[in-house]
Structure 1
Amino acid sequence: MPSLSTSSAPATHQLRLWWRRLGRRGAAGAAFATALLAAALFLTLSRYAAVPADSTSSPPSYGHRLPTLVELTLVDGAKDKGAVCLDGTPPGYHFLPGFGDGSDKWLLHLEGGSWCRSFESCARRKKTNLGSSAHMDRRVEFVGILSDDESQNPDFYNWNKVKIRYCDGASFSGNVEDEVKNGTSFFFRGQRIWEAAMAELLWKGLARAKQAFLTGCSAGGLSTYIHCDDFRALLPKTSTVKCLADGGFFLDVEDISGRRYMRSFYNDVTRLQDVRKRFPHCSSDMEPGQCFFPREVAKSITTPMFILNPAYDVWQVEHVLSPEGSDPQSLWQNCRMDITKCSSKQLEILQGFRKALLDAISEFKNRIDWGMFIDSCFIHCQSMNALTWHSPSAARINNKTVAEAVGDWFFNRREVKEIDCEYPCNPSCYNKVLDEPYKED
């Protein structure tokens, strides 16, 4: 996923990269690097102290300390269980132990990254971090809802936190026994990956959690809808267990050419990985892809759930509303990259898209223990970014950031059913501007 753009790259970012390269070169070098980082951070904060945060300029680099880097752990014994990535490598996760009164509390995050719908697209995916642990970063930054910085993540900073890597191509839901498809070895084992990862984390302490929170972004948000009740069932009845899906409420709507592109896409995914059997809630007259949409999955969820979604989801505008092939004259090219460049007619269509989202979630609005935060921003996934989760530049509804709203809901401080007004009404929104087609992390 492209990072939020700034007018220039902060010096701290460049030095952070240099720090990683420095790695293990010795104490003297490390001490020197620490001094340089401190100086750069001071200069960066000084530079941004006088810059007002408004929606017309790029957001400032907020003054959090550098994110904690967390090592990759491969799931032990995963291959013996057949719980493997698309290419047969073991799945992985990053675990940051909690501390203080967060030692018996757990927050799990399911990584996103779209899906693969054919043998050809899954073959390409096998050569990336989204299909093979051999290509995954060995260390990742924990930011946003995973941060251990209290100023960035006030309610969950000291919890045990886990980022579960996504490498199966079907939101942790496929379970195909056959290993050879189309003359090539493929492993469609997302359900087994989920089960193997949970077993290992339960052993590491999750089984004793007094409070537990399952979260996910994008395709990981869909995974959260799919596995929310499964997660609840793994933990003691006395535990407080809730779920949050960020940018994962994908819509079954017509695109600008009148096709239901996303339903067709999901039909391919569910057939390829035999996912239909995973959804007993689906009626026999429904297409298999329909069962994969959150609106259908969520109907059977009994665990408290929080729906976090922008009304103008930048990924969905590009891939659901105006996908490839729907716009042969490229009339939507500018609009899908920058909402400020949409014509009045295009904005009218976007308002219709927002209405479709509100209609789809309306049945869940009446569930007392559910929460929601639907802002009017042009963005995708807001819990995994320091700026959009909780910072002076973060979008607000009723003067609450996403982090504050989620915390209020999780700890029952108030009911949270926040529905923003139509674009461009919210001046606190940071609207993403793309310079290339949107790709996820």
Structure 2
Amino acid sequence: MNRVSLTLFTCFLIILLKVKTDTEVDVTILESATAIGAVCLDGSPPSYAMDQGSGSGSSSWVIFIEGGGWCSVIADCVTRAGTFQGSSLYRNKFRFTGILDVNSEVNPDFYNWNRVALLYCDGSSFFGDVEYVDPQNKLYFRGSRIFKAIIQELVAKGMNFADNIIFSGGSAGGLATILNCDTLRFLAPDAKKIKCVSDSGFFLQAPNLPGATQRETYFGHIVQLHCLFPENIVEDIQTPLFLIESSFDAFQVESQYTPYVGGGRTEWYDCVNVSLSLCNSTQLEKLQEFHTTFIQTLQNLVYSHSRGMFVHNCYRHGQILANDGWKFSDTLENKTIADAMRDWYFDDADAFVYIDTTNSPRNCTL
């Protein structure tokens, strides 16, 4: 390698390292939250990560709620409390990618906004508020208090007077976004514009599909049943909401549907865990049944011009925190997920509903 090539290669490595460093954001432990009992499963104070905005984005905010499933029984919660998903003791950095990315090529519309990740440590989508603590397991179920404590901290940092707030989340965090969407509007009453974006947070109740009883029991252990399933509450949300979903959502298919269909996890393993090309005709029919129910459930929601949707058919769960699922996603009507969400947020289109009704799942880079 000659000197010029070596110099260029060295510069390239420096750039890569700089980008990596820039997107590793320090975690802030909110010690003051313990005064109101806003604590993680293990009793440690909650945490968040924030990268301050600049220039034209200094008075605008992107809030993202981290996902990570739930614990529905005490034994699972005890295990979770010993990890970063149930405690603030196990990490000091959080990687900002996708809608949180500082790179203007990846995130051209929001890269210079104040960007904040609420780190998930309560196991119930920021929705629990139980005063009693069992002295035997010493678990705290205080997700609602955590949410309010962190938002009040951000309000004190200037978010209450924001020009723009995008309140978003993925998976369990996407559900938390739906559940807390109007609450954020209440906690930041002077912000000029607030809209909510839920990524892969529309978990189906789907009473007509196999596994309905098990889904209701599972989620019923987390919070009161009918207050959780989005299909029962989305119509009542007053704040504008954008849903980003796969009609073949990989998590829901693998954990809440196929275990209760024709042979369960063993017979379905190769189809849903290895490659869709290994699905037999009966399995494809069952996946199409899930897809049809998902699409119909969304289409049955009472229309609201303030509600947008981007529903694709990629076999995937989670989009907007991954660069390949954000700016570089597959397109519907020539729009990526980032394009469609941007148009909806800034009211730059006549319609904001994009649904791929193709009834076959795809292995795709999205």
Same fold, TM-score > 0.5, yes or no: yes
State the shift of 1:360 in Å: 1.5
Q: Pick from 395, 402, 406: which aligns with 2:341?
A: 406
State the shift of 1:253 in Å: 2.8
Q: Equivalent residue of 1:163, what SS? A: strand
State the shift of 1:290 in Å: 3.0
Q: Is residue 2:169 matched to residue 1:233?
A: no
2-structure distance, mates of 1:416, 1:149: 26
What is aligned with 1:376? 313
State the shift of 1:36 in Å: 4.2
2-structure distance, mates of 1:192, 1:141: 25
Q: Equivalent residue of 1:412, what SS? A: coil
What is aligned with 1:366? 303
Pairwise mapping of residues 156-175 of structure 1 onto structure 2 (< 5 A)?
Answer: 156-175=110-129
In structure 1, the gaps of 5 or more residues are 1-31, 43-63, 271-287, 432-441
TM-score (norm 2): 0.91
Q: Closer, same or farther in 2 for the Cα pair 1:325/1:83, shift >3 Å? A: farther
What is aligned with 1:210? 163
Q: Closer, same or farther in 2 for the Cα pair 1:424/1:118, shift >3 Å? A: closer
Counterpart residue type for residue 222 of structure 2 = V
Q: Is residue 2:24 matched to residue 1:69?
A: yes
What is aligned with 1:264? 217
The runs of 4+ residues in structure 1 deviating greater than 3 Å are: 34-37, 39-42, 64-67, 254-259, 323-329, 423-427
State the shift of 1:363 in Å: 3.7
2-structure distance, mates of 1:197, 1:88: 16
Pairwise mapping of residues 284-363 of structure 1 onto structure 2 (< 5 A)?
Answer: 288-323=224-259, 327-328=263-264, 330-337=266-273, 338-363=275-300
1-structure distance, mates of 2:212, 2:163: 47
Q: Is residue 2:62 matched to residue 1:107?
A: yes
Q: Pick from 140, 148, 161: which aligns with 1:195?
A: 148
Contact 1:255 1:321 in 2 (8 A): no
2-structure distance, mates of 1:426, 1:188: 38
What is aligned with 1:397? 332
Q: Is residue 2:86 matched to residue 1:151?
A: no
1-structure distance, mates of 2:260, 2:317: 19
Contact 1:214 1:228 in 2 (8 A): yes
Contact 1:256 1:322 in 2 (8 A): no
State the shift of 1:342 in Å: 1.5
2-structure distance, mates of 1:174, 1:94: 22
Q: Pick from 140, 143, 146: which aligns with 2:94?
A: 140
Q: Equivalent residue of 1:184, what SS? A: coil
Residue by residue, what CA displacement relative to the aligned partner does 1:297-327 show, whole Å, maximum 9, x if unpaired? Answer: 2131011000000111111111111238984
Contact 2:315 2:361 in 1 (8 A): no
Instruction: Give the number of aligned pairs.
Output: 357
Q: Closer, same or farther in 2 for the Cα pair 1:255/1:74, shift >3 Å? A: farther
Q: CA RMSD in A?
A: 2.5
Q: Closer, same or farther in 2 for the Cα pair 1:35/1:329, shift >3 Å? A: closer
Q: Is residue 2:79 matched to residue 1:127?
A: no
Q: Closer, same or farther in 2 for the Cα pair 1:96/1:330, shift >3 Å? A: same
TM-score (norm 1): 0.76
What is aligned with 2:3? none
Contact 2:27 2:49 in 1 (8 A): yes
In structure 2, the gaps of 5 or more residues are 1-5
What is aligned with 1:223? 176
Counterpart residue type for residue 215 of structure 2 = M
Counterpart residue type for residue 367 of structure 1 = S
Q: Equivalent residue of 1:172, what SS? A: coil
State the shift of 1:425 in Å: 8.0
State the shift of 1:264 in Å: 1.0
Residue by residue, what CA displacement relative to the aligned partner does 1:205-228 show, whole Å, maximum 9, x if unpaired? Answer: 111101111000000000000000
Contact 1:377 1:423 in 2 (8 A): no
Q: Which moved more, 1:338-347 or 1:245-254?
A: 338-347
State the shift of 1:238 in Å: 5.9
Q: Closer, same or farther in 2 for the Cα pair 1:218/1:329, shift >3 Å? A: closer
